Amino acid sequence: MKAVFKRTQSLKNYPTHYCPGCGHGIAHRLIAEAIDELGIRERTIGIAPVGCAVLAYNYLDVDMVEVAHGRAPAVATGMKRTNPDKIIFSYQGDGDLAAIGTAEIIHAAHRAEQITVIFINNAVFGMTGGQMAPTTVLGQVTATTQQGRDAHSQGYPLQISELLAVLPGAVYVERCALSSVARIRQAKKAVRHAFELQATGAAGLSLVELLSPCPTYWHTSPAKAMEWIETEMTKVFPLGCLKNVTRTP
Amino acid sequence: MTERVLVCGNEALAEAAIIAGCDAYFGYPITPQNEIIAYMSKRMPEEERVFVQSESELAAINMVYGAAATGKRAMTSSSSPGISLMQEGISYLAGAELPAVVVNVMRGGPGLGNIAPSQGDYFQATRGGGHGDYRTIVLGPWSVQELVDCMPLAFDLADQYRMTVLILADGILGQMMEPVVLQKKLRRELPAKDWALTGAKGRSQNIVRSLWLQEGVLEQLNYKLQAKYRQVQKNEVICEQYALEDAEIVVVAYGIAARIVRGAVNKARQEGIKAGWIRPVTLWPFPAEQISQAADEFRIFLVVEMSCGQMVEDVKLAVAGKVPVLFYGRPGGGVPTVEEILDKIRQMTVPVRR
Amino acid sequence: MAGKIIIDIERCKGCGLCVTVCPKGRIIISKRSNKSGYFPAEVTNIECTACAMCAIICPDAVIEVYRDKNTVGGPSKKDRPILVKDK
């Protein structure tokens, strides 16, 4: 029989610490597939965040660096500017990118840093026990919004893709979801495009936002978590390509 | 070139860094070191090196972290409040064992302070202002020439020991103009950076990290770091002394304060007072041995700093109670004069020796 | 049928996502736990078309999908996930 689906080379055959049904595993796989399909493994350097994916270097078989919370785009800047031939990507959660790291991501995009950013939006802080994230939706119950997120005292969910798409230095911004096979196929295309742009010298930052399930801190089953993305998250975070500009330096 | 040029400290250290092979400069403007970033913004592209004005000092130190992780010689500069912002990054650099050079052109503090010169960041620099058990090598030059000479030394030390080297200048050193010789120095023999992230071609992946969750692993890393720091303490102390042989009063100072002390001690000698001075150049590793030896003879120590007294604690530790240690200092941008220090020296009575 | 999947049951965390996507409904959650204490997915390969939807949604990449070389039909090339590196 012929194998039609196997683990790709850059995804290490190593058990992950992620919860059952966590979206990180899917996202990691899409990244590994993109890297292998584009043949860029040996010149790719990845940045692991502070968050559940801090140990991403145990799962992705490329050179990787672990950095302080939120600082990945600055670290990526330092790496890409001094090594323009390498493919630099950061992998960040909603605390890392949308809370503590807002300055860094905006300025990396604003400076048109030629890097790829994969942004995992699961509407909650997973690693630390399910607190509110900037992307937590109104009414969502979390460890620090036990009555449900209230706009008046806790503000509104942050739409990172929309924020970044207005910056001329961002050349590609797309929001996808990991909530069904069809969605994952679209996400795969987006992730691959984001890497391909860097590999072909696109003059700016590519970001793919992935709506991802967190069954543990949404206090639900993996299947229901996927449904919640479809029915609730996509209302607040509409899917689609917000920007795709071909621009060479 | 071996000609002497008249140049201000900030620009001199920038040019010296370029000559020393700095691959990348990342920084954010803050007085009194803005000449560094302006100079680098012009010269680095001329040399086809990397320059980025970052959005904050927080970002700058992380850009250094990134470049260093790929094996490049990277540096940043700032002044006291900006260096405070960099403490997180410096702790990460230490934990990940990455080489880096950070220049602090000290100004008055705490808080926003002022833009006058100060030495109030000694604790921050030598005690490790960030979290965890780590050290950075700290250099305290006293002239623009010495500042220039510190740059290749700093990059070499950083690469050799995989540590951050912090250069403590101050607002005077940064702004003052002195004639210097800017020339390429021979590099030490340095280990290869086989740990660097260069793309996993022909080898397994390299990981640069500072998180070690498994039981006992981080403890072992800390012991390894301490062993490294002991090596630095053994091999890299730089300290100058003057007129100690018959000195009854020993003044200890570093950086610009030491320049003023030199003037005061010279005048004291003219008045017949047997004074001498010790000038640490490496503030970490601290020249504890030299100071301890100097305290074996009975004499009084006077520590002079532009602060409320920080290095004085290290002097007291080194002296270990053998002799009295006094302090004179001016914080918050105050600069002691030769007269003030000379006055203090005159006031110090030395008990009759047996 | 012409396809089959192999699930690494010791690595499966029993999240059940594959169960929800199999168009033939041939995956269930086992009543026996694996060594990690999870109740892994279990499959009967009858009627498997090697559509690979289970493998696409699996967060732990523990499913391998095989198809009989001689099969005609099945999902179109456009839909098939391209991951194979046949050397």
Per-residue pLDDT tens digits for B78-127 = 999 999 999 999 999 999 999 999 999 999 999 999 999 999 999 999 99
Q: Does A185 touch chain C (CB under 8 A)?
A: yes
**What whole-number distance in Å separates Cα of residue B83 and Cα of residue B58?**
9
In a domain, C75, yes or no: no
**What whole-number distance in Å separates Cα of residue B103 and Cα of residue B290?**
26
Q: What is the mean pLDDT of residues B348-354?
A: 62
- Say how far residue A147 (Cα) sits from the centre of its chain: 28
- Answer whether B68 sits within 8 Å of A57, measured CB to CB: no
Residue B183 has pLDDT above 50, yes or no: yes
In a domain, A54, yes or no: yes
Mutate to test the interface with A, among C60, C72, C87 (most CBs of A within 10 A): C60
In a domain, C48, yes or no: yes
Q: CATH code at A61?
A: 3.40.50.970
Confidence of residue C77 (pLDDT cuts 50, 70, 90): low
The residue with tokens 């002799």 is B323
Give me the residues of chain A with pLDDT under 50, please.
none
Query: pLDDT over 70 for what percent of chain A?
Result: 99
Confidence of residue C75 (pLDDT cuts 50, 70, 90): low
- Predicted TM-score (pTM) of this structure: 0.91
| pLDDT for res B61 | 98
In a domain, C83, yes or no: no
Domain span including residue C17 = 3-67
Residues of chain A neighbouring C81 (CB-CB closer than 8 A): 4-5, 185, 188
Which residue segments constitute the domains of chain B, with CATH numbers given? 4-235 (3.40.50.970), 240-347 (3.40.50.920)
pLDDT digits (tens, 9 = 90+) for B225-281: 999 999 999 999 999 999 999 999 999 999 999 999 999 999 999 999 999 999 999
In a domain, A3, yes or no: no
Cβ-count burial of A201 within 10 angstroms (0-12 exposed, 13-18 middle, 19+ buried)? Answer: exposed
Q: Does A2 touch chain C (CB under 8 A)?
A: yes
- Answer whether A22 sits within 8 Å of C59, measured CB to CB: yes
In a domain, C22, yes or no: yes
In a domain, C61, yes or no: yes
- Answer whether C83 sits within 8 Å of A2, measured CB to CB: no
Structure tokens at A203: 């003059």
| pLDDT for res A174 | 98
In a domain, A216, yes or no: yes
- Answer whether A4 sits within 8 Å of C65, measured CB to CB: yes
Q: Number of structural domains, chain C?
A: 1
Q: CATH code at C54?
A: 3.30.70.20
Q: Is the peptide bond before B110 cis (omega within 30 degrees of 0)?
A: yes
C74 CA to chain A: closest CA distance, Å?
12
User: What secondary structure does DSSP assign to A19-45, as a single string?
Assistant: PTT-HHHHHHHHHHHHHHHHT-GGGEE
- Mean predicted lDDT score pLDDT of chain A: 96
A71 CA to chain B: closest CA distance, Å?
6
pLDDT digits (tens, 9 = 90+) for B158-169: 999 999 999 999
pLDDT digits (tens, 9 = 90+) for B30-87: 999 999 999 999 999 999 999 999 999 999 999 999 999 999 999 999 999 999 999 9
The one-letter amino acid code at B286 reads F
Q: Number of structural domains, chain A?
A: 1
Q: Quick check: do B and C touch, 3+ CB pairs under 8 A?
A: no
| pLDDT for res C24 | 93
In a domain, A147, yes or no: yes
pLDDT digits (tens, 9 = 90+) for A29-40: 999 999 999 999
**What whole-number distance in Å separates Cα of residue B247 and Cα of residue B242?**
9
- Mean predicted lDDT score pLDDT of chain C: 86
Task: Give Dmax over CA atoms of chain A in angstroms.
Answer: 59
In a domain, A39, yes or no: yes
Query: pLDDT over 90 for what percent of chain B?
Result: 96
In a domain, C17, yes or no: yes
| pLDDT for res B128 | 79
Polymer length of chain B: 354
| pLDDT for res A29 | 98
Closest partner residue to A74 (CB to CB) among B66, B74, B201 is: B66
Domain span including residue A144 = 23-244
| pLDDT for res C86 | 47
Q: Quick check: do A and B touch, 3+ CB pairs under 8 A?
A: yes
Structure tokens at B212: 């070690």
Element (H, E) at B75: strand B74-78
